[in-house]
Structure 1
């Protein structure tokens, strides 16, 4: 995946050098917002960026009866928690600091606490919440080309 970004960066570096900082900021803001929409869509579809489904939810160890009606990461994909940041140097899609730890545990398959007291811990399966697919790379290339052609 990093080889694709290095190739894209090398290709785009010379072309983007001709743009003003105002044009770069506008392009990066538009790009960050579109990438956030795509990340939200694949989280809502419960799929990794490569199209494979997420590992299923853990069996619940709770006192309440009944099923869990909400999808995994329903709140994490909202704009309140999934933030964009852009400047003339780049565009970033990240989780807010309050939810970054939860996202990090699931992104990399780390162990985390199951209950509030921390007495029960579990190693979660890796579920890629933020990542790039081939269509995202194509979106970046198309955005750069459309900005340069203006």
Structure 2
């Protein structure tokens, strides 16, 4: 995957160097929005970039809890919204990612780190769930968007 991304970067770098900075910024915003939509669809499907399913949530002891038990909620429901999944694009780069407190939560899941579920709780090692990542379709999307922009 990394070699595909590097090959795409080498190929696109020559073409992008010919564009004016304003045109590159416009293209970067467009590609960023398309990548965000792609990441959102993948999060809805609960899939890693390689197509495998996310590791399931750990079972919890909810015996004493009152009211409705909502065990079947999808993970990262709020994270996939545009208010949390931010896109930044300028003439030099496109960035799709999280900011602030949400970035910490996403990083813990992305790399399978230890964290506390709530204040005062013991540290728990989370399963690795790749919240952000490139799929082959994303690389094709970038290439096709670039070609479509250049042929206009």
Query: Would you say same fold, with TM above 0.5?
Result: yes
- Residues in 2 aligned to 1:130 and 1:73: alpha-carbon distance in whole angstroms: 12
- Name which of structure 1's ranges 133-142 and 90-99 shifts more when overlaid on structure 2: 90-99
Cα drift, residue 5 of structure 1? 1.4
- Residues in 1 aligned to 2:4 and 2:61: alpha-carbon distance in whole angstroms: 42
TM-superposition CA deviations, 1:89-114 (whole Å, max 9, x none):
11110112120110000000011112
* Alignment partner of 1:125 out of 108, 127, 145: 127
- Residues in 2 aligned to 1:67 and 1:10: alpha-carbon distance in whole angstroms: 47
Structure 1 gaps, min length 5: none
Which residue in the other structure is 1:111 paired with? Answer: 114
Which residue in the other structure is 1:64 paired with? Answer: 65
- Residues in 2 aligned to 1:115 and 1:14: alpha-carbon distance in whole angstroms: 48
Pair 1:20-2:23 in alignment? no
Q: Secondary structure at the match of 2:31?
A: helix
Cα drift, residue 61 of structure 1? 4.1
Q: Secondary structure at the match of 1:93?
A: strand
For normalisation by structure 2, the TM-score amounts to: 0.92
TM-superposition CA deviations, 1:50-107 (whole Å, max 9, x none):
2110000111245425242421110111111110001011111011212011000000
Which residue in the other structure is 2:38 paired with? Answer: 38
> How many residues are matched?
149
Which residue in the other structure is 1:3 paired with? Answer: 3
* Alignment partner of 2:91 out of 79, 88, 91: 88
- Give the superposed CA RMSD: 1.3
**Following TM superposition, where does structure 1 have runs of at least 4 consecutive aligned residues deviating by more than 6 angstroms?**
none
Which residue in the other structure is 2:48 paired with? Answer: 48
